Every structure is written in C-alpha cells, then in structure tokens.
Amino acid sequence: MTTVPRSYHRPRKPFPLGRLLAWLALALILIISVFPILIVLKTALTSNRDLFTEAARLWPSDPTLVNFQRVLGLLSTEQAQAAGGSGSAVNFLSALKNSAIFTLLIVVGQTFFSAMAAYAFARLKFPGRDVIFTLFLIAMMIPGIVLFIPNFITVRNLGWLNTIPGMVAPFILMTPFAVFFLRQFFLSLPRETEEAAFLDGAGPFTIFWRITLPMSQGPLATLAILTTIGMWNEFFWPFLIAKDEASFTLPVALQVFKSQTPQGVPDWTGLMAGTFITAIPVFLMLIILGRRVVESLAFSGTK
C-alpha cells in the first residue's frame, strides 16, 4: 500500500474555516461512534439502586462490579436478586464458552479446509475443476434466508439441534468467499519453490503444508480475522439451532436474557453487563491486532 502523503491541499491560508468545520464534524462522528459504548459500560457499572436517579449522568457515582458478577453466575440466586436481578438469569459464562468453541472451530476448520480446496483450484489439475469452482462463485450470491430454512431441516433430521455440530456444520468446512479469496492469493504465489520441493520428492500435501501455508500467513490471518468477527457476531443460525440454554452463544443468550425480563422494565444493568461481556473479545482483538484488523476489513471490501 502506498502511503505517500498527499499535499495538494496544503492550505493557501493558514487555517481556513472549512478545515475547522471538517475537524469538528470528524470529532463529532468519533464521539457518536464511541459514546454509546461508554454508556453501556457506565450502566453495567451502576447499581440497580442508582439506575433511576443517575439515568442522565455520564459516570456512576458509586461504580460496582455486581452486575458482571450476577450475569456471569458468580453470585447465589439470593445475592443476585438482592442486586436487582430477576433470579432467572441466563448463564453467560456457559454462553461465553459456547461462543468461543463455536468461533474457534469454524475459524480453524473453515480456514484450513478452504485453503486446501483453494490450493487444489489454484495448482492441481483434475476433471471438473473449473465447473465446481464456478458453482462455488455462484453460491456467493445466495442470501442467507434461502439456505437457512432447508439447512435447519437438514440439521434437525441429523438430530443435531441444540448441539455444537449442528451450529458449526454450515460454516466449518467452507464458505465460497474463503475459497475464492485464498485461491486468488495462491495463484499469485511463485511456483519455483513448490517445483523444487517436488523434485526433492515432496508430495502435494507436504508442499501445501510446509511451503504454501507458511508463505501465506498474511492472507490466512486476514481471512481468520474476518471469520472471527463474522462468527463471533453471528446471530440468526445459532438462534435457530440453539433452543436449550446449554447451547446458547453470547448473542443468543443476550437476546433471550432480554426477552425473559417482563415487559415494562427490563433488567438494564444486567443487560448492559451482558452486552459489554459480549463485546469484550472484539475490543481486545482491535487493541491487540489494531492495524491488521483495519487492513483486513478494508481489504474485504476492495477485492
């Protein structure tokens, strides 16, 4: 990526009004982007007792971790009820575990199996290769709802409702996008190293595993990041498959926790603690992998 700073607009006057307005607009939008998340954190740290009196405040006068403790099931039912919970809380700790397993299995499986297929489409010759690949490409256009109803019936017939296999099944082996994305990259890799390894007696799988994958760390990481974001946040499919609390992922648990509270006054402090917990992993990913995440997203759009 070229990052040569452009200087065509260096101000003719020292500080034009337009520039000031643009700065203000940018600052305003940044505040609008971040502010709601701060209110979530503030609410999660507010005790139920203070919720009504401090609704308009930006920070709780007496911050507490009690809401996090109760939605994570770290308090007894009596303690949770005393803190303002309904007692019929969803087990967020188990949902956190399910979300982690769901996301991890899919990221590892999908990246690996899609890479294998992409390698074959890019490097190996076999009858029907281009027809199959074209079918993959066409499948990218099918909207989710068209596939989800028949897939639900398939998973139900397999007896996989409420199970991890049922939840990961449609995603773990491939997505057309992942195969397409990696094939484009493998096509661009120089063939010389692979050919040298072949002359040394390496088989195709050894070449794929020992040469192609290590040379593709950047695109593999990009794909893994995009898949992690997508799967951690996936709602519709786990929502269809997971009907027992034991198999909820975090977005599903959050939705169920909200719909459990009686109409009128939801358990806002607990809900916001659960909301914040659901969002923590992507915050961490952005903090730790910052530039990589931004570049992965930018890449996902431009090609």
Partner 1 sequence: MSTGIDAPPLRTTAPPRRFPSQAVTGYLFILPALIGFAVFYLYPALRGVQISFTDWNLLSEPSTVGMANYNEVIRDPKFWSALGITVKYVLWNIPVQTLLALGLAVAMDRLVKSMFVKGLLILPYLLSSVVVAMIFLWLLDPFLGIVNQWLDGTPLGKQSFFTSAEQAIPTIAFVNVWKHMGFNALLFYAGLQAIPRTVYEAASIDGASELTTFRRITLPLLRPVTVFVLVTSLIGSFQIFDTVAVTTQGGPADATRVLVYYIYQNAFSFFRMGYATAMSMVLFVILVVFTLLQMRLLRANESDLE
Which residues within the stretch 138-157 sit at the binding site for partner 1 (CB under 8 A)? 139, 141-147, 149-154, 156
The mark string for 199-238 relative to partner 1 (x by CB under 8 A, - otherwise) is ----xx---x--------------------x--xx-xx--
Site for partner 1 in 254-283 (CB under 8 A): 254-255, 258, 266, 268, 271-272, 275, 278-279, 282-283
Site for partner 1 in 162-191 (CB under 8 A): 169-170, 172-174, 176, 179-180, 183-184, 187
User: Does residue 290 bind partner 1 (CB under 8 A)?
Assistant: yes
User: Does residue 286 bind partner 1 (CB under 8 A)?
Assistant: yes
User: Does residue 298 bind partner 1 (CB under 8 A)?
Assistant: yes
User: Does residue 30 bind partner 1 (CB under 8 A)?
Assistant: yes
- Contact pick of 74, 108, 246, 297 for partner 1 (by CB under 8 A): 297
Site for partner 1 in 45-84 (CB under 8 A): 51-52, 55-56
Three-state SS annotation for the chain:
CCCCCCCCCCCCCCCCHHHHHHHHHHHHHHHHHHHHHHHHHHHHCCCHHHHCCCCCCCCCCCCCCHHHHHHCCCCCHHHHHHCCCCCCCCCHHHHHHHHHHHHHHHHHHHHHHHHHHHHHHHHCCCCCHHHHHHHHHHHCCCCHHHHHHHHHHHHHHCCCCCCHHHHHHHHHCCCHHHHHHHHHHHHHCCCHHHHHHHHCCCCHHHHHHHHHHHHCHHHHHHHHHHHHHHHHHCCHHHHHHCCCHHHCCHHHHHHHHHHHCCCCCCCHHHHHHHHHHHHHHHHHHHHHHHHHHHHHHHHHHHC
Site for partner 1 in 102-141 (CB under 8 A): 113-114, 116-117, 119-121, 124-127, 129-130, 132-137, 139, 141
Binders of partner 1: how many residues, by CB under 8 A? Answer: 113
